[in-house]
Amino acid sequence: MKWLKNEAPRAKVRGLLERNTEPRLQSGRMYKTLFAILILALLCGLSYIFPILRPFKASLLMYIGKIWWALLLGFILGGVIDHFVPREYISHILARPAKRTILYAAFLGFLMSACSHGILALSIAIHKKGASNPAVVAFLLASPWANLPVTLMLIAFFGMAKALYIIFSALIIAITTGLIYQVLESKGIIETNKNTKSLSEDFSIISDFRKKLFAYKFSGSQLLIDVKGVYSGIRMLVDMVLWWILIGMGLASFIGSYVPQSIFHKYMGPTFAGMLATLALATIIEVCSEGTAPLAFEIYRQTMAIGNAFTFLMAGVVTDYTEIGLLWVNVGRRVAIFLPIIAVPQVLIFGFIANLIFK
């Protein structure tokens, strides 16, 4: 029975190690964020000395101008979720291995008015709150092209029929990918979310929310506690997400500044080879849904291939190094690896069908 006596000290040591490790991880992420900011700021500063860097600075500032609000909104909503939404609620809605869980995740993604980068913070937030990995992937894929601002933008660019084809195809891909991930998770091929909490079958979100609402006492001290809690959640998400986004913006600014757009148009004809070229380029230059939509329309205007435009839009999400890197670090390596493997063929199929329908 000696091991029973030693178990308490061991558990205490494990707890101390976990508490000591987390601050170091957050500190490391903060330094990476600061380093990325310094590098980009240095390049922008050097543009006043070296004219060759001026297009890079202009492109980077343009990207920042397009997505700053989406990032800010994503971080704020993520901080609110982290502080106010109990882990049990997310686990109850998005953690069960049921097909309707993926439908819930896609529908929630549809309601989120944030671009692909703004949604990253929310995706990591719901993951930390206990959403299953298949639900996180479905949420991530449904959000960038199935929210109201982008829907209106796509309708303005492509017309009602083509825009709705893009939106519904994106939702179908999100749902199908999530369902495939559920199968992979059930067979132990991908990681499971360790943040998920087990709940009894009779757990009710409405009853629990009503109980917490009646017990909540509004006061100045409570408001201060809530503000600090939301800020803590925002800070955690910024440390976790922002440096990846800065890397993506820097690379996209470089490609957008020094690779002629005529090259894109030349090799993006309404053929399977053209779609593969579109897929490859979208992997490199994707920045955000709002920023990518005008370029996708330009591809369509030049080639009259709506399938190529769709491929460009969707491939930027399912092959984006920012999103895959975040999934790799925060969700699971196998989850990240399977994202392009599962989603890319679907994107090509729907793009090919679009070229046949909208000739």
Lowest mean pLDDT among 56-65, 84-93, 230-239, 312-321: 84-93
**Six token digits for residue 21:** 């490790």
Give residue limits of the domains in the chain.
Answer: 52-191+206-357
pLDDT computed for residue 43 by the predictor: 94
Cβ neighbours around 329 below 10 Å, total: 15
Distances in Å between the Cα of 146 and the Cα atoms of 175, 215, 285 are 12, 37, 21
d(CA 207, CA 176): 32
Quick one: pLDDT band at residue 38, thresholds 50, 70, 90?
Answer: very high
Q: What is the pLDDT of residues 144-201, one digit of tens each?
A: 665 555 666 677 777 888 888 988 898 899 999 999 999 999 898 988 887 766 555 6
Higher-confidence residue of 297 and 275: namely 275
d(CA 300, CA 306): 6
Other Cβ atoms within 10 Å of 334 Cβ, number: 16
Q: Is 70 exceeded by the pLDDT of residue 4?
A: no
- Stronger pLDDT, 46 or 66, i.e. the higher one: 46
Taking the complete model, does pTM exceed 0.75, yes or no? no
How far from 118 is each of 69, 114, 186, 245, CA to CA, in Å? 8, 5, 30, 9
**Does position 272 have pLDDT exceeding 70, yes or no?**
yes
Tell me the residue type at 117. Answer: H
Tokens of 279: 């897929």
Share of the chain above pLDDT 70, in %: 73
Which three-class secondary structure string do you get for the chain?
CHHHHHHHHHHHHHHHHHHHHHHHHHHHHHHHHHHHHHHHHHHHHHCCCCHHHHHHHHHHHHHHHHHHHHHHHHHHHHHHHHHHCCHHHHHHHHCCCCHHHHHHHHHHHHHCCCCCCHHHHHHHHHHHCCCCHHHHHHHHHHCCCCCHHHHHHHHHHHCHHHHHHHHHHHHHHHHHHHHHHHHHHHCCCCCCCCCCCCCCCCCCHHHHHHHHHHHCCCCHHHHHHHHHHHHHHHHHHHHHHHHHHHHHHHHHHHHHHHCCHHHHHHCCCCCHHHHHHHHHHHHHHCCCHHHHHHHHHHHHHHHCCHHHHHHHHHHHHHCCHHHHHHHHHHHCHHHHHHHHHHHHHHHHHHHHHHHHHCC
Q: What local confidence, expressed as pLDDT, does residue 15 receive?
A: 47
pLDDT tens string 242-259: 777 787 778 778 877 887
User: What is the average pLDDT across 53-58?
Assistant: 93
Distances (CA, A) of 167 to 17, 42, 172: 46, 39, 9
Greatest pairwise CA separation for the chain in angstroms: 77
Share of the chain above pLDDT 90, in %: 14
The better pLDDT of the pair 32, 111 is held by 32
Q: Which residue has the higher pLDDT, 292 or 101?
A: 101
Each residue's pLDDT tens digit, 116-125: 556 666 677 7
